[in-house]
């Protein structure tokens, strides 16, 4: 028995839909890892297409079919191929995909050299339309910041806090997640680690105290490094300090326009 394809019915409201699809698919994926070749992680995937005004609906199952085909090859190099497959498979003018995942790195403590695992929330966001292909990579990096004002006005000590720096970039050639992470960590008062011994805590506390940074300093220093990178065509940097003595967070944002 032939089953009617209801999604292909004509719609007479004359309203195109910019994005329609599936959200929050939790899925195992494999991404490139500079130290180990590849890394297996778990992603949350959103997939959409643009729906012309004359179609009633899209075929939701086809998104998952494409994901099943490519889930072991979701990487920066393959993103455009996946979006093109979505466009063809759903007969759409535009395709969009967002893949958010924790990226794991081994880090050695600065003094004890104890090794631990740090996770960094990352995302690939891509679109493919008749106008071309667009891909943005996002990385969130936790760091430590010490307030320069607090240090300057205090007879002893200074307030410090954990901060989250979010970097988004567009680029010409391949970019490693590790390079973005290192760029941010080196511009903060100090790095954050999963495992520290007393000697490490002493080292990092003193390092941060001797390297105070306003939230403005963090975004400016990161932006300055990204501006000098010829591979980066666009970026945004935002930093949020989870303040330790204020009942609010400090925030700064800077963007380079293409």
Q: Is residue 108 part of a domain?
A: yes
Closest CA to 175 of 28, 31, 27: 31
Residue 193 counted as domain residue: yes
Cα–Cα dist 149/47, whole Å: 46
Q: What is the pTM of this model?
A: 0.90
More confident residue, 254 or 6: 254
* 17 in any annotated domain: yes
Q: CA 240 to CA 162: how far, in whole Å?
A: 9
Domain extent, residue 119, equals 11-256
Q: Give 55's strand partners.
A: 10
Q: Is residue 170 part of a domain?
A: yes
Query: For residue range 221-250, what is the model confidence (pLDDT) as tens digits?
Result: 999 999 999 999 999 999 999 999 999 999
Task: Write the pLDDT tens digit of every residue in 142-199.
Answer: 999 999 999 999 998 899 999 999 999 999 998 999 999 999 999 999 999 999 999 9
Residue 162 sits in a domain of what CATH number? 3.10.270.10
Secondary structure element (H or E) that encloses residue 218, with its range = helix 215-227
C-beta of residue 127 within 8 angstroms of C-beta of residue 134:
yes
Residue 30 lies in a domain: yes
Note whether residue 247 is domain-resident.
yes
Based on the structure, what is the number of domains in the chain? 1
More confident residue, 16 or 220: 220
Is residue 2, in this structure, part of any structural domain at all?
Answer: no
Residue 1 lies in a domain: no
Higher pLDDT, 93 or 199: 199
The chain-wide mean pLDDT, for the chain, equals 91
Under the banding of pLDDT at 50, 70 and 90, the label for residue 29 is: confident
Q: Which two tokens stand for residue 66?
A: 């494409």
């Amino acid at each position: 028995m032939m089953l009617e394809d209801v999604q292909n019915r004509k719609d007479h409201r004359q309203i195109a839909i910019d994005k329609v699809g599936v959200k929050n698919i939790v899925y195992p994926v494999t991404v490139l890892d500079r130290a180990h070749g590849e890394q297996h992680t778990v992603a949350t995937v959103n997939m959409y297409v643009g729906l012309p005004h004359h179609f009633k609906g899209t075929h939701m199952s086809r998104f998952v079919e494409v994901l099943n085909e490519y889930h072991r090859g979701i990487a920066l190099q393959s993103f455009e191929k996946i979006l093109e497959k979505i466009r063809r498979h759903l007969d759409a003018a535009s395709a969009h995909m967002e893949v958010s995942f924790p990226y794991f790195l081994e880090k050695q403590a600065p003094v004890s050299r104890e090794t631990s695992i740090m996770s960094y929330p990352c995302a690939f966001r891509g679109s493919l339309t008749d106008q071309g292909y667009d891909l943005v990579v996002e990385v969130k990096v936790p760091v430590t910041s010490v307030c320069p004002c607090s240090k300057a006005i205090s007879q002893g000590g200074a307030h410090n806090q954990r901060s989250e720096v979010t970097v988004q970039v567009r680029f010409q050639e391949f970019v490693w997640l590790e390079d973005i992470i290192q760029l941010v960590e080196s511009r903060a008062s100090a790095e954050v680690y999963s495992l520290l011994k007393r000697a490490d805590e002493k080292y990092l506390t003193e390092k941060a105290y001797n390297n105070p940074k306003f939230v403005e300093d963090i975004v400016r220093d990161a932006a300055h490094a990204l501006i000098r990178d010829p591979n980066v065509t666009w970026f945004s940097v935002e930093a949020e300090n989870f303040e330790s003595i204020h009942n609010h967070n400090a925030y700064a944002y800077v963007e380079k326009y293409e």
